[in-house]
Amino acid sequence: MNEKTMVNDILENVKADLSAYQKAIAESSNAQLRQTFQQIRNSDECFQYELYKVAETKGYYKPAAKATTTEIETVKNELQA
């Protein structure tokens, strides 16, 4: 397995983990457990962003094109309707 595949695989797994933590946070009634999940999520978000920057720098990840002002306004208007 090459480095690009490993980096992208890790990024996908961290994204899945972040979703799972968010669900666990929303469903936790125990304040201490909720705080623990939040701390883990925050740490993973930082890790994901650092790895994303490495992937982008090495050309392993190409972000989508930026939305135009018109596209942004269209979505805003649709959500506000």
Going residue by residue through the chain, which has 81 residues, state the pLDDT in tens, using 9 for 90 and above: 899 999 999 999 999 999 999 999 999 999 999 999 999 999 999 999 999 999 999 999 887 889 999 999 999 999 998
Q: For residue 35, what pLDDT is reported?
A: 97
Q: Which two tokens stand for residue 45?
A: 């978000």
Q: Which two tokens stand for residue 64?
A: 């989508």
The residue behind tokens 């990024």 is: 11
DSSP state for residue 63 in the 8-state scheme:
P
Domain coverage including residue 53 = 3-80
Q: For residue 63, what pLDDT is reported?
A: 78
- The Cα diameter of the chain in Å comes to 48
Pick the closest to residue 57 from 22, 14, 7 (CA basis).
7
pTM of structure: 0.73
Number of domains in the chain: 1
